Amino acid sequence: MAPITIQDVQTFLIQYSGGGTRFVIVKIITSEPGLYGLGCATFTQRFRPVYAAIEHHLKPFVIGKDVTRSEELFNMMLVQSYWRNGPVLNNAISGIDQALWDIKGKLANMPVYQLLGGKCREAAAVYAHADGREPKEVVDNVRKFQAQGYRYIRVQMGGYGGKADKMVKPEGALPGAYFDPREYTRNMLKMIDYVRQEVGEEVELLHDVHERLAPIDAVQFAKDVEPYKLFFLEDDLAPEDIEYFRMIRRQCATPIAMGELFNNPREWRLMIEERLIDFLRMHVSQMGGITPARNAAIHGNIYGVRTAWHGPGDTSPVGHAANLHLDLWAPNFGIQEWCRFPPLVYEMFPGLPEVRNGYMYPNDKPGLGIEMDEKLAARYPCTDEVDWWTQTRLPDGTPSRP
């Protein structure tokens, strides 16, 4: 029997609101009438180079290839540019990889989680984001989520910045998203202490430092939050400073989550093998798709490290569907981040997973189980405005990690 081949690759750029999130969605059309797949290639801050990498480099390479050979195609796409890795190329590869898993599931008439090994659970527990300008507002928002059935809640105050109000800037300071790391740690400790006292021990609390601290301050912060028994502390250190995780491990038992900025197995391999982290937080499209995520999950499982795939608003709906299939299968699933899309996004992506009572459920359709209303999506094209929140500065104006 002649193989089913890739006939066309289409790349969709979608910005559904003024919030700055731009989705990059790949659609693979096959030689089998009506058979196609969708994949997430979303790198929201640099979506145009991803588009170019797919349309001008991967598309000519994959056209005519056998759709069933997703493993071989992933590995060849990884090396075929000679210069490899990085968020642009990995996201482009992910768009193709996820779409091929979607197609494989449709060919087998099975959901993707069945191809991975089948369900270990019926639904994935998710966590939502509670924020507030002061601790009481954070508590109010935690209680709103509890009332909706959420049992895992990330608590932040003033976004990632902590919004220092008494900051003294130099004369002539340039515009930017200013941030005081030391004040942040003091304010966050007070907030976490207050939230824990108010809501009790049953709620699982999480916190994301967003890699904004000097390494030694990050070590101190991990120790300081230990008594509050967080479910995890996320990105306490930047990828550039991961050696400091050894210091944290020697000094406290705060559970550590890390990985949304990783894109090369070298970045997570030693952290797993040295048992420096507890949760893998990789952004599945940024690592290259379902194929490398499956490998990392299996590697983590051998060492007792759980999964917690990145799932904010700049993971596309197709990416959230991919996360869910990995979550349902992985024996070492930990938790899934969830961003609560508005009704418009559900209309644009029929089959987008639903969350009820703190659990995300699959729809059990073949493949990834998600569709895209292309006519509706076309009404929301991407724009090129310059992102503001990523122009982070320290109090004296020094550019800093967002």
Tell me which amino acid residue 33 is.
P
Q: Is 264 exposed, middle or buried (0-12, 13-18, 19+ CB in 10 A)?
A: middle
- Out of 129, 207, 210, 310, the active site residue is 210
Query: Shortest distance, CB of residue 153 to Mg ion, whole angstroms?
Result: 15
Catalytic residue among 160, 184, 228, 359: 160
Taking the complex as a whole, the smallest distance from the CB of residue 160 to Mg ion amounts, in Å, to 8
- CB nearer to Mg ion: give 208 or 314: 208
Q: Which two tokens stand for residue 323?
A: 């996360």
Nearer Cβ to Mg ion (208/327): 208
Compute the least distance from the CB of residue 369 to Mg ion, in Å: 26
Decide whether 102 or 208 has the Cβ nearer to Mg ion.
208
**How many other CB atoms sit within 10 Å of the CB of residue 157?**
25
H-helix or E-strand containing 7? strand 6-14
Q: What gap in Å lies between CA 83 and CA 77, rounded to an integer?
A: 11
- Least distance from Mg ion to the Cβ atom of residue 219, Å: 19
Based on CB atoms, which residue is closest to Mg ion, 100 or 282? 282
> Is 210 annotated as catalytic?
yes
| Residues with Cβ within 8 Å of residue 398, at least 6 apart in sequence | none
Question: How far apart are CB 28 and Mg ion at their closest, in Å?
Answer: 30
Q: Are 185 and 217 within 8 A, CB to CB?
A: yes
Which structure tokens are listed for 224? 């300081």
d(CA 111, CA 362): 9
Instruction: Find tokens 């050894």 and name the residue.
Output: 246
What residue number has its CB nearest to Mg ion?
208
Burial of residue 333, with CB atoms counted within 10 A of its CB: 0-12 exposed, 13-18 middle, 19 or more buried: buried
Q: How far is the CB of 238 from Mg ion (least distance, A)?
A: 12
In terms of C-beta density within 10 A (0-12 exposed, 13-18 middle, 19 or more buried), how is residue 364 classed?
A: exposed
> In the complex with Mg ion, which residue's Cβ is closer, 101 or 279?
279
CB-wise, 208 or 236, nearer to Mg ion?
Answer: 208
Neighbouring C-alpha atoms within 13 Å toward the C-beta of 94: 34
**C-alpha–C-alpha distance, residues 294 and 292, integer Å:** 5
Q: Can you read off the two tokens belonging to residue 394?
A: 């320290």
Q: How many residues bind Mg ion (CB under 5 A)?
A: 1
Residues 183-242 that bind Mg ion (CB under 5 A): 208
Distance of CA 16 to the CA centre of its chain: 18
Residues noted as catalytic = 160, 210
Chain positions contacting Mg ion, by CB under 5 A: 208
